[in-house]
Amino acid sequence: MASLFNALPGAAAQGLIWGIMAIGVYLTYRILDIADLTVDGSFCTGGAVCIMLMLGGQNAWAAMFGAILAGMATGLATGIFHTFMGIPAILAGILTQLGLYSVNLKIMGKANQAINVDKFDLLVSLRFIKNVPFVNNTIFIVAVLIVVLILILYWFFGTELGCSLRATGCNDKMARAQGINTDFARVLGLMLSNGLVALAGALLGQYQGFADVNMGRGAIVIGLAAVIIGEALFGKIFHNFGFRLLGVALGSIVYYLVLQIVIWLGIDPDLLKLLSALVVAFFLGIPTWKARYMKGGLADILGKGKGR
């Protein structure tokens, strides 16, 4: 039991960091109605760019800003594949993700780049969980970051431009009839989303003290799991858009806490990814089952929660 309690703060910190990534997934998956697989690559791109910039002497904030820009570039690539070249969104994301594997290797020069917490001024680290001043605590810092990001996103999706993104995801035919450039909206949404994902990658790179070419593997599944858990647990309470984003971040924490408990219970860690995939598959199936076996599910009325 003691080992479990010792592990919980770390799980919460990781959950928060992945929460930022999950908010990025929420933007594409829920708002734009695209399952964007770019994230498996752009998460690592964020980590790689951040660590390399810091190793090159930049401070943590500048390095994270660089990571965000790199992430937005990956979203731009997927966006161009999807809109300009007409490739289905899922395939466009897979193409970018595959290409990014090479790009990430080239950014780092090798498969793994470590950064020493004693020699560099990291913003977050697994060393900053216990026995540090409160304001330097990783959990506190990432929590503040999330709140700031949610406030920015809340503002953005209330603007004319943000509304045009929401309309595009909801009904692109209507959006075009109302003069919205739906291609532009999709590209912009993909860039925003992957910028957030890369920021999460940058934070995780610092947190674990290294960037690894495989660090983003399965990121989309973790992101979806967080979105689904967040909606299942908090969907009934959180109706406001900002709170729904918060719900997603909390969903990510729950995911990591559950993961920690499962590990503590002694499950073979090799099976964790299989377990995650099955759990996410199960929850993704719920709207379909509801529509098929229960009448008048809310998912039907709102026209959401189904793939198109």
Report, in Å, the least distance between residue 164 CB and other proteins: 5
By CB under 8 A, which span of 69-77, 115-123, 142-150, 295-303 interacts with other proteins? Answer: 295-303
β-partners of residue 113 are 211
Which helix (H) or strand (E) covers residue 112, if one does? strand 112-114
Residue 236, SS3 per DSSP: coil
**Shorter beta-carbon distance to other proteins: residue 135 or 177:** 177
- Rounded to whole angstroms, what are the CA distances from 220 to 29, 132, 141? 10, 32, 24
CA atoms 279, 28, 63, 113: torsion sign: positive
Among 82, 166, 186, 244, binds other proteins (CB under 8 A): 166
Among 98, 144, 294, 302, binds other proteins (CB under 8 A): 302
Q: Which 121-160 residues touch other proteins, going by CB under 8 A?
A: 156, 158-160
Q: Is 176 a residue that touches other proteins (CB under 8 A)?
A: yes
Tell me the number of residues near other proteins by CB under 8 A: 26
By CB under 8 A, which span of 4-12, 38-46, 127-135, 169-177 interacts with other proteins? Answer: 169-177
Among 62, 91, 144, 161, binds other proteins (CB under 8 A): 161
β-partners of residue 212 are 112
Report, in Å, the least distance between residue 88 CB and other proteins: 18
Among 28, 38, 42, 182, binds other proteins (CB under 8 A): 182
Going by the DSSP 8-state scheme, the letter that residue 247 receives in this structure is: H
Half-sphere exposure of 202 (CA within 13 A, CB side): 31
Among 177, 237, 265, 296, binds other proteins (CB under 8 A): 177
Among 269, 303, 306, 307, binds other proteins (CB under 8 A): 303
Q: Is 304 a residue that touches other proteins (CB under 8 A)?
A: yes
Half-sphere exposure of 15 (CA within 13 A, CB side): 26
Q: Is 173 a residue that touches other proteins (CB under 8 A)?
A: yes
**Shorter beta-carbon distance to other proteins: residue 130 or 304:** 304
Place of tokens 């045009």: 164
Q: Is 162 a residue that touches other proteins (CB under 8 A)?
A: yes
Q: Is 178 a residue that touches other proteins (CB under 8 A)?
A: yes
Q: Is 119 a residue that touches other proteins (CB under 8 A)?
A: no
Q: How far apart are CA 250 and CA 245, in angstroms?
A: 9
- Rounded to whole angstroms, what are the CA distances from 273 to 16, 35, 214, 221, 301? 19, 19, 14, 9, 34
- Rounded to whole angstroms, what are the CA distances from 225 to 70, 120, 210, 267, 296? 25, 33, 25, 19, 25
The residues that touch other proteins, with contacts defined as CB under 8 A, are 156, 158-164, 166-167, 170-171, 173-182, 301-304
